[in-house]
């Protein structure tokens, strides 16, 4: 007989008896009978062990269930993120359409209220580098009756610049904020005349004002009609009046009425006759 069996006879005997009793309990289980004393002892010994294995089994089952749920949640989260991104893009597109509709509505209102002006609505297709629209290109040209020197307005009718070059279906615009631009202008309140030109900061300066000029902050400045541009086109408002260094004249800093950072559509005034506004 092997040495292990000789040295562990009692353990082996106990083990065999326990197995036999468990098997007997399994095959003779009756819900209406009372267990024997031996069965009770065996149950007392093996119940904690059974409990441990049961809890381990439950833990493993719960672990696999959790892993499955994590996979499901991850898939759901990815789906929701895609839906959020889709809605975000749709919201941006809707906002763009709303902004475009607002601009076109303003353009239509201005055109309806100024029937004395022959206006061609054009879309800006390109501009010079930088934040300001010093020079830019539009999608209207000779085929639409556009000619060099014509005034260009924003969708609310504020002065933007003038046409400098023309192709069949395009034209270039020099903005009034460019240093090479100059426009005859008048203060609406005082009727003081001068010339508005661009400065190096994307703004406007009204020069050649007499020393007795009474311009003040907030005065509206428009085209004077002393050039080929129609009279009364809004250029901007006076923000400061100073003495022109080295001369006997005054000058005024003008805040442009047009937003030269956000231009999208412009009107080209195809009739150059003064309107008398």
Is the full-model pTM beyond 0.85? no
Given 111, 137, 168, the domain boundary residue is: 111
Name the residue among 164, 168, 166 with its Cα closest to residue 176: 164
pLDDT of residue 10: 60
User: Do 151 and 179 fall within a single domain?
Assistant: yes
- In whole angstroms, give the CA distance from residue 46 to residue 232: 104
- Using CA atoms of 141, 146, 152, 155 in order, give the dihedral in degrees to the nearest 10: -70
pLDDT of residue 116: 82
Give a yes or no: residue 139 inside a domain: yes
Question: What is the count of structural domains for the chain?
Answer: 2
User: Do 171 and 61 fall within a single domain?
Assistant: no
Give a yes or no: residue 169 inside a domain: yes
User: Do 41 and 135 fall within a single domain?
Assistant: no
Give a yes or no: residue 143 inside a domain: yes
Domain at 204, CATH number? 2.40.10.340
Q: Could you tell me which residues come within 8 angstroms of residue 147 by beta carbon, excluding any fewer than 6 positions away?
A: 163, 166, 270
Give a yes or no: residue 28 inside a domain: yes
Handedness of CA 190, 192, 193, 198 (dihedral sign): negative
pLDDT of residue 63: 60
Ranges of residues in the chain whose predicted pLDDT is under 70:
1-66, 96, 100, 130-132, 272-277
Angle of the 9-27 helix axis to the 37-113 helix axis, nearest 10 = 70
pLDDT of residue 149: 93
Give a yes or no: residue 276 inside a domain: no
Given 73, 94, 111, the domain boundary residue is: 111
User: Do 139 and 95 fall within a single domain?
Assistant: no
**What range defines the domain where residue 70 resides?**
11-111
DSSP 158: B
User: Do 21 and 49 fall within a single domain?
Assistant: yes
pLDDT of residue 275: 44
User: Do 179 and 143 fall within a single domain?
Assistant: yes
User: Do 121 and 47 fall within a single domain?
Assistant: no
Name the residue among 129, 184, 128 with its Cα closest to residue 151: 184
């Amino acid at each position: 007989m092997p040495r292990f069996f000789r040295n562990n006879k009692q353990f082996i005997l106990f083990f065999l008896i326990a197995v036999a009793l468990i098997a007997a309990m399994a095959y003779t289980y009756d819900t209406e009978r009372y267990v024997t004393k031996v069965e009770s002892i065996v149950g007392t010994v093996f119940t904690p062990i059974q409990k441990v294995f049961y809890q381990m089994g439950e833990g493993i089952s719960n672990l696999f269930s959790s892993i499955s749920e994590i996979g499901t949640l991850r898939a759901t989260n990815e789906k929701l993120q895609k839906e959020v991104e889709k809605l975000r893009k749709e919201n941006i597109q809707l906002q763009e359409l709303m902004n475009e509709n607002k601009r076109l509505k303003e353009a239509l209102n201005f055109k309806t209220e100024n029937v004395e002006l022959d206006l061609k609505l054009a879309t800006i297709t390109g501009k010079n580098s930088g934040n300001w629209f010093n020079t830019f290109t539009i999608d209207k040209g000779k085929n639409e009756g556009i000619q060099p020197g014509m005034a260009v307005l924003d969708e609310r009718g504020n002065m933007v610049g003038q046409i400098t070059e023309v192709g069949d279906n395009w034209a270039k615009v020099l903005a009034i904020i460019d240093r090479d631009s100059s426009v005859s202008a008048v203060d609406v309140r005082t009727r003081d005349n001068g010339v508005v030109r661009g400065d190096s900061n994307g703004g406007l300066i009204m020069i050649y004002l007499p020393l007795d000029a009474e311009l003040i902050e907030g005065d509206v400045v428009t085209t004077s009609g002393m050039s080929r541009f129609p009279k009364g086109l809004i250029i901007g408002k006076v923000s400061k009046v100073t003495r022109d260094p080295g001369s006997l004249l005054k000058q005024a800093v003008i805040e442009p009425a047009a937003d030269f950072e956000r231009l999208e559509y412009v009107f080209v005034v195809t009739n150059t006759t003064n309107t008398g506004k």
